[in-house]
Amino acid sequence: MYKVKVSIVGASGYTGGELLRLLLFHPFVEVKQVTSESYTGKFVHKVHPNLRKTTQMKFVSASELETCDLVFLCLPHNSSQNKIDHYKSLAPKIIDLSADFRLNDSSEYEKWYGHKHAHPELLKEFVYGIPELYREEMKTANYISSAGCNATASILGLYPLFKAGLVEEDRTVIEVKAGSSEGGNKVNDGSHHPERSGVVRSYMPTKHRHTAEMHQELSFGKNIHIHFSATAIDIVRGLLATCHVFLKNDLQEKEIWKVYRDAYGSEPFIRIVKENDGIYRYPEPKLLSGTNYCDIGFKKDEFSNRLVVVSAIDNLMKGAAGQALQAFNIMYGFDERAGLEFPGLHPI
């Protein structure tokens, strides 16, 4: 059987390494080239030690890239958009994991990212990369822009409620607690171990860029307001989004269950986690390490119309590489779960 030939640009980074880990075991994929400017000529396992004995590949410079079927771009924001014509000339299909093509409206880049978009005319060519929202579009897409990790957990948690018009439009409050790998592999003052270890650090109480994606995907043509804050906590992988929404009508929990079951009952990577007892009653990111699941739970406040929705993912998997591979599988008509069936570890 023909194997799809893919290359990964920015493969020395955390999302690139995670993608490589998955693709090396994918039954219908051949990884052709992996790029790094910092480690050109070095074995992949020098940077990703978990891949020892898994591959003997070496990094090449992006200038040595050859044509292939699809390129995954795992670069920092504002890198892909400046060289997109070059990547398009290398492959007919692209999956970009950065934020460069996530927003439909180019003026949103000025507002949230502080710069003009280099190719606003291309934004409409990219399908926003959450498969549960855009599966049909992905089947015929050439270009996919993977969603942000905080945005993925928040959007998936709230999508059924906003779609059904069940919550007040102007007061949604979301707090994400995030692990350190969200920041990528570059060191900075905040990532230095004595400064990062043990923290509960409110690093982005307002103005987080992922808020733009949440507005884009949850508005359904209405004027909504999402108030989003992000806090860094002492884990490496994973994030938990706690979303506070206010119900327009006095729905019972069993009616809310039905809304989620109808939306996600047949989704392979979404699990409704809500139990009456035990220590894992609600979603817990620790259990999702290395998996492509998004676990969603909820609890209605019995003293008000507040509904608390809790959504957990592994930021490098469902929030990045796993979700990108899920989209890839849909693009090529493969089983959506191919290469993604790891159930996680317990205890961990």
Q: Which of residues 145-174 bind ligand NAP (CB under 6 A)?
A: 148-149
Q: Does residue 298 bind ligand NAP (CB under 6 A)?
A: no
Residue 33 burial by Cβ neighbours in a 10 Å radius (0-12, 13-18, 19+): buried
Q: Does 98 bind ligand NAP (CB under 6 A)?
A: yes
How many residues in the shown chain lie near ligand NAP by CB under 6 A?
29
3-state SS, residue 133 = helix
Nearer to ligand NAP by Cβ, of 164 and 236: the residue is: 236
> Cβ 221 to ligand NAP, closest distance in Å?
27
Tell me the one-letter amino acid at 328: F
For residues 33 and 313, what is the distance between their CA atoms, to the nearest angstrom?
A: 28
Q: Does 238 bind ligand NAP (CB under 6 A)?
A: no
Cβ distance 71 to 90 under 8 Å? yes
- Of 243, 238, 230, 247, which is closest to residue 174 (Cα–Cα)? 243
Q: Mapping DSSP to helix (H, G, I), strand (E, B) and coil, where does residue 192 land?
A: coil
Residue 15 in the binding site for ligand NAP (CB under 6 A): yes
Q: Can you tell me the distance from the alpha carbon of 235 to that of 251, in angstroms, rounded to the nearest whole number?
A: 35
Of the candidate residues 29, 97, 288, 312, the single one contacting ligand NAP (CB under 6 A): 97
Compute the distance between CA of residue 301 and CA of residue 78 in angstroms, rounded to an integer: 42
Neighbours of 338 (CB within 10 A): 18
Tell me the Ramachandran region of residue 161: left when phi exceeds 0, alpha when psi lies from -120 to 50, beta otherwise.
Answer: alpha
185 lies in the binding site for ligand NAP (CB under 6 A): yes
Kindly state the tokens that stand for 76.
């920092």
Minimum separation from the CB atom of position 59 to ligand NAP (A): 7
Known active-site residue 243: no
Question: Catalytic: which of 68, 74, 149, 294?
Answer: 149
As beta bridge partners, residue 39 has none
Q: Which is nearer to ligand NAP, 46 or 258 (CB)?
A: 46
Residue 191 binds ligand NAP (CB under 6 A): no
Binding residues for ligand NAP restricted to 37-96, rule: CB under 6 A: 37-39, 74-77, 79
Which residue from 242, 291, 315, 326 is in contact with ligand NAP, where contact means CB under 6 A? Answer: 315
Pattern 100-139, binding to ligand NAP, x per CB under 6 A? Answer: ----------------------------------------
> Would you list the DSSP string of 287-322?
GGTT---EEEEEEE-TTSSEEEEEEEE-TTIIIIIH
Decide: is 14 part of the binding site for ligand NAP (CB under 6 A). Answer: yes
Q: Which is nearer to ligand NAP, 183 or 259 (CB)?
A: 183
Closest CB 16 distance from ligand NAP, rounded Å: 6
Binding site for ligand NAP (CB under 6 A): 10, 12-16, 36-39, 74-77, 79, 97-99, 148-149, 181-182, 184-186, 315-316, 319-320
- The set of catalytic residues is 149
